[in-house]
Structure 1
Amino acid sequence: MNQTPPECARLAAELRRLREHSALTLAALAEESAYSKSSWQRYLSGKALPPWLAVRGLCRLAGEPEPRMRALWELAEAEWSRRSSIRPPQTRSRDDAPADTKTVPAPPVHRRAGRRVWLVAAAVGLLTACGVVAVAATTDQGSGGGFHVSCRGAACNGRDPGVALCGVEPQTLLDLVTPTGAGLEIRYNPLCRAAWARVWNTRVRDRLTLSAHDEPQQSVTVNDPALRDAFVYTPLIAVPGPHATLTACLVTSPRPAPLCYSASAP
């Protein structure tokens, strides 16, 4: 990406403001969070989109209510997803998942309410702007205009969510933090009728798989140290029908069995 999207630059500027307000150095910020000093350097400069959990952690450290920052982050993520759609898909492993699957309960992700009415109002205004993006992203194919995804259902199997334009304004079906500290989400786009999983704050050789009934399993392996703090996501998998069960499994060292979590499609 040659130029930082304006929404991401705005988010980075707000993150820098929060860091200054917290009076934390980059080293101290790394110690107080699950993200490295080099990762924070990328997030604060706008060179990388931070995971929401990183933004939320900085809000906590700076005493900042979350709603406004959540709105800014949603705008930045939507723009980042659109820009990433022109990039070629990454090479990914498609090995079968281990047989000794172990399902564990998902730790809850606690969300703090805003403390000031004016911040909530500001967040609503920003989310209204998000709605403009969402209208473009959810215009159906064949409607004569708007945003068009490039695959549906089984035709999406194995494709990159960004390249297929399914990664713009998706629904988040599952959002949690694993016992190893990795963030994990299952996301779904109703226009594509397809889903994918993504992780961040991972380790090299961590492997994520996503499966659905009668559909080919999709997987991705973290094989580059630079990707440990970035979003790493599986290819798309078709959602066979309403309320279909989607299961994401993360294999991470030194655990002998994968951590598996399930969500139901709308």
Structure 2
Amino acid sequence: MTDTAPSAAGPLCARLAGELRDLRTRTGLSMVALAERTAYSKSSWERYLNGRQLAPRQAVEALCTVAREPSGRLVALWELADLEWSGRANTTAPPMARAAATPSPDDRPGDHGTSTGHTAPGRGHIRSIRRHQGVLVATCAVGLTAAIAVTALLHTATENPTKTASSARPAPGCHAQTCTGHKPTAKGCAMPRQEEILREQKLSTGTPLEVVYSKQCRAAWALVGTAQVGDVLSVSTPGGASEHVKVTDKYDAESPLVTPMIDGSGLTGLRACFTPADGHKQCFQT
């Protein structure tokens, strides 16, 4: 496997890299922390997430494990990306197309005793037509399989919402005090319809800051949409735990900045503070 993407690499490889980046963001882990939790180095993950190298299947599965994400969907996408990366998807179609264009002995009118082109085709000719139709369908399938498969993968939630919801969204893994210090995505607390925005504020940089409360986990955290290397975000309650997160590298800066959770049993006086690397600390109370 090469470090530089081959010319055959295309939308499927890019899609896989994007999905892996999104999954890494959900874990809340820096590149260094991700390397520590898997068998792959920081530099390897950089190549995988930037699409410069196709991630091994085992790396995809390892990231799914860290993120507590069922691996089936991404492994299926990886298999398609692997075909695209290796070029195997591009070398299958031409021979089949040539086979479809080559006349079969059954196509020759004289072989079936037909005297003109206006007579009804014989059984052999019909079989030939059907065979050629099958070849043409298979040839088209080579080019369409990837698109169809990806579409099916991405729309699983629409086709089977009950199954997807139960497999893709793990049950919350903590409650109140036991959530302290954990990332909301890692414990399944960042779930639609279970979150309440306690405060939404625009920072002086124009970046939105939110303080979020999970009803199901009874925990709270803060997040900002974009941040720069060196920026720090914290969340705390009077007399309670204080949690903070810092942008340590350019890869962290590509994703929303999310603090670990704090106990949300008592929300009175909950405060979020953002300290930019090159500015003044800004704090907001709910």
* TM-score, normalised by the number of residues in structure 2: 0.41
Q: Which has the higher helix share?
A: 2
> Which of 1 and 2 has greater Rg?
2
* TM-score, normalised by the number of residues in structure 1: 0.44
**Bigger RCO (CA 8 Å, 6+ sep):** 1
